[in-house]
Chain A
Amino acid sequence: MALLEVRDLTVQFRRRGEEPFTAVDGVSFDVDPGQTIGLVGESGCGKSVTSLAIMGLLPRKGNQVTGSVRFEDTELLSLSQSQMRDRRGRDLGMVFQDPLSSLNPVVSIGLQVTEVLERHRGMARKAAMVEATELLDKVGIPDPGRRLSEYPHQLSGGMRQRALIAMALACRPRLLIADEPTTALDVTIQAQILALLKELVTDTGTALIMITHDLGVVAGLCDEVNVLYGGRVVERAARHELFAEPRHPYTHGLLASIPRLDAPRGEKLVPIKGSVADNIPWDGACAFAPRCPNALDTCTQVTPEQESLANRLLRCHNPVEVTA
């Protein structure tokens, strides 16, 4: 059995006087220990809402979460708020895009890390201080002993992200969700943080859900990749298979539209037409149809079901042909 099993996860936002809006629409995937699973897709496709639903961090009101999120033997969706808070301190860790908004600005870095250690691992203050110094050192913060007494604003963006990772690690989580952890960072700092996350997964066997819109990050990091579009998984495959042979027209289009650092210059990029604003509802159609170069008449009449196809999941009436 997988460490985490997400089944048919659906999140609807309801606002009075408005049609309910389905941000996540029947998403299913598994995560094994030591495995890195990628969730990719463009802005608004439901990546963050998926992760917040798993972590029990959605706002209390105005939404409805259905489906199932099993962590080992526990159904997380049926836990109470306080049980969930406890879980987040023990088994589940999360790292967000913007470290400044998830660190407390008026509490020193040291105190923030030691608090986690005292609360969730029952350590005494002294021991917690020692452990905190070690954690900061482990995530590559120079001169960690001195850093303990500093405040978040005194650190650079990269160092703050490391501090946040140190806090997530303080609980020794077995599952870490990283939501665009490097998007706000420069590329040389991104390389440092990605190397750190990779090391973590290999050394501790922590399972990692990596959320990103950067296909380059996915290519280097994730064992298996879920491509999301309009709240649904449209394609899922192991890393090498997905990039060697993208079958969903959206995945295929994304890869054709990004310039590559190592490709010959002078070739025109092939964009996907339109934008997500052109999406149509999944009910009785494929949401991507208005932008899809492969669209058939059925695509605006019948919802494509998720089908498995030689080690791959696909939701498409007319997938891209396999070359070769």
Chain B
Amino acid sequence: MSEPLVSVEDVKVHFPIKRGVVLDRTIGYVYAVDGVSLTIQRGETYGLVGESGCGKSTLGRGMLRLVEPTGGRVVFDGTDLSALRGENLRRMRRRMQMVFQDPLSSLDPRQSVESILVEGMRAHELDKGREETGKQLRELLSAVGLPSTALRKYPHEFSGGQRQRIGIARALAVKPDLIIADEPVSALDVSVQAQVVNLLEDLQEQFGLTYLVIAHDLAVVRHISDRVGVMYLGGLVEEAGSDELYAEPLHPYTKALLSAVPVPDPLVEDRRERILLTGDLPSPAAPPTGCRFHTRCPWRQAERCDTERPVLREILGGHRVACHFAEEIRDGKIRPHEVEPVLVHPDEVLIAPDAG
């Protein structure tokens, strides 16, 4: 395989939790991203799924160094980003753009669409004279399906779907290689989501873009992605080609997650067997020992699960799983059992050993 565009190597993002009068005492950490490794090939779409708070956005932001990773490194097109400073980092950032969930809050309401788009181009010295820039802007708008009259308007004058198009145009304006789209359609009406999904697909083809798409809607991610990674409490628990993952999920969490997604077809719904998980997601500031999923896992075994953290290992070609018993579960040698729900306090903090 050729050299990947992005290589994420054991990246960690731990947010300190401060307490005390002047907030100077660190009493623990939110282990938002805790050792994630993955690669994204040129021209592919990598989908990242997982439930609220599992660290998807933080991983995406950490990749761009919008938050500083606490550990590991991110290599973009052969360059280690963690070594870059100042101007070099800024130059590199042009090639990696982000599209956000809520287009309204990520667009400055006082700026016209034209000024929003030109701003990025100017910052990276891509506006080459009025005529050339004007041409580029018109091309950009037509690429995202907005009329050129949109240039003089302001974000509030558009519908949600149109605003998301503006957000995408802003990202495209600086000619990036990689677009990280964080929940690009989840704020949109169902009938409008498909427009934006199709647009992202068309643009990828037209401009040879590479995507990291972060979303909690598993059907959308499956539709748009070539490969999918599943996160749970700061770690990647499974990764596979989109079709393989959905055809044969191997990790107990992925199995449960996929079985929980409602399908808009009563014939399917009536026959479906759900793996209902008990209890809640543990606090990322006090993650369980061993396998982070062991407190909710219907396949949990007495040995290893609560003591040893499973590593992500390749089981079949291109299918990686972090479960000690993935093969036994796949082959039906161990069966699911009832799980007693445990109490979860959403703000629980594991007191750091060095806290005074």
A interacts with B: yes
- What DSSP secondary structure best describes chain B's contact surface? helix
Chain A CB within 10 A, most for which of B201, B219, B256, B266:
B266
Residues on B with beta carbons closer than 8 Å to the beta carbon of A271: 191-195, 198
- What DSSP secondary structure best describes chain A's contact surface? helix
Stretch at the interface among B4-12, B107-115, B167-175, B272-280: B272-280
Interface flag for B327 (CB, 8 Å): no
The answer on a CB contact under 8 Å between A275 and B257 is no
**Given A142-B341, A216-B261, CB of A262 within 8 Å of CB of B268:** yes
For B51, give its contact among A187, A243, A260 (CB under 8 Å). Answer: A187
Interface flag for A276 (CB, 8 Å): yes
Against B, the Cβ 8 Å flags (1 = close, 0 = not) of A165-185 are 000000000000000000000
Within 8 A of B (CB), among A19-43: 42-43
Residues on B with beta carbons closer than 8 Å to the beta carbon of A213: 189-190
A244 to B263, CA, bound (A): 13
Interface flag for A188 (CB, 8 Å): yes
Chain A CB within 10 A, most for which of B192, B272, B342, B344:
B192
For A258, give its contact among B193, B340, B342 (CB under 8 Å). Answer: B193
A194 to B262, CA, bound (A): 10
The answer on a CB contact under 8 Å between B190 and A195 is no
For A255, the closest partner residue in chain B by CB is: B264
Residues on A with beta carbons closer than 8 Å to the beta carbon of B289: none
Interface flag for A307 (CB, 8 Å): no
Interface flag for B343 (CB, 8 Å): yes
Interface residue total, chain A, C-beta cutoff 8 A = 51
A14 to B51, CA, bound (A): 41
Residues on A with beta carbons closer than 8 Å to the beta carbon of B267: 240, 243-244
For B219, give its contact among A159, A258, A276 (CB under 8 Å). Answer: A258
Within 8 A of B (CB), among A242-290: 243-244, 253-255, 257-262, 265, 268-273, 275-277
Q: How far is the CB of B195 from chain A (nearest CB, A)?
A: 4
Stretch at the interface among A86-94, A107-115, A116-124, A150-158: A150-158
The answer on a CB contact under 8 Å between B260 and A188 is yes
Within 8 A of A (CB), among B32-70: 51-52
The answer on a CB contact under 8 Å between A142 and B222 is no
For B161, give its contact among A154, A215, A261, A275 (CB under 8 Å). Answer: A275
For A214, the closest partner residue in chain B by CB is: B262
The answer on a CB contact under 8 Å between A277 and B159 is yes
Q: How far is the CB of B93 from chain A (nearest CB, A)?
A: 31
For A186, the closest partner residue in chain B by CB is: B51
For B263, give its contact among A261, A268, A269 (CB under 8 Å). Answer: A261
Interface flag for A105 (CB, 8 Å): no
Interface flag for B210 (CB, 8 Å): no
Residues on A with beta carbons closer than 8 Å to the beta carbon of B242: 265
Residues on B with beta carbons closer than 8 Å to the beta carbon of A140: 278, 341
A269 to B340, CA, bound (A): 41
Interface flag for A62 (CB, 8 Å): no
Interface flag for A293 (CB, 8 Å): no
The answer on a CB contact under 8 Å between A259 and B219 is yes
**Given A265-B243, A269-B198, CB of A257 within 8 Å of CB of B191:** yes
The answer on a CB contact under 8 Å between B343 and A143 is yes
**Given A191-B260, A195-B274, A220-B266, CB of A259 within 8 Å of CB of B342:** no
Interface flag for B258 (CB, 8 Å): yes
Chain A CB within 10 A, most for which of B263, B341, B345:
B263
Interface flag for A317 (CB, 8 Å): no
The answer on a CB contact under 8 Å between B197 and A269 is yes
The answer on a CB contact under 8 Å between B223 and A265 is yes
For B197, the closest partner residue in chain A by CB is: A269
The answer on a CB contact under 8 Å between B246 and A261 is yes
**Given A187-B218, A269-B198, CB of A262 within 8 Å of CB of B191:** no
Q: How far is the CB of A119 from chain B (nearest CB, A)?
A: 29
The answer on a CB contact under 8 Å between B269 and A191 is no
For A186, give its contact among B198, B201, B216, B347 (CB under 8 Å). Answer: B216
Chain B CB within 10 A, most for which of A42, A216, A239, A258:
A258
A218 to B265, CA, bound (A): 9
Interface flag for B235 (CB, 8 Å): no
Chain B CB within 10 A, most for which of A159, A187, A277:
A187
A142 to B261, CA, bound (A): 24
A43 to B186, CA, bound (A): 13
Residues on B with beta carbons closer than 8 Å to the beta carbon of A142: 278-279, 340-343
The answer on a CB contact under 8 Å between B277 and A188 is yes
The answer on a CB contact under 8 Å between B264 and A275 is no
A140 to B224, CA, bound (A): 36
Interface flag for B220 (CB, 8 Å): yes
For A229, the closest partner residue in chain B by CB is: B191
Interface flag for B281 (CB, 8 Å): yes
A-B contact pairs, 25 of them (CB 8 A): A142-B279, A154-B345, A188-B51, A188-B260, A188-B277, A191-B259, A213-B190, A216-B263, A240-B266, A243-B266, A243-B267, A254-B190, A255-B264, A257-B190, A258-B193, A260-B263, A260-B264, A261-B219, A261-B222, A261-B258, A262-B265, A268-B201, A271-B191, A271-B195, A272-B192
B residues adjacent to A (C-beta < 8 A): 51-52, 159-162, 189-195, 197-198, 201, 216, 218-220, 222-224, 242-243, 246, 256-270, 272, 274, 276-281, 340-347
Known: A154-B345, A190-B260, A259-B224. 7 other contacts (CB 8 A): A189-B280, A213-B189, A213-B190, A219-B265, A258-B264, A265-B242, A271-B193
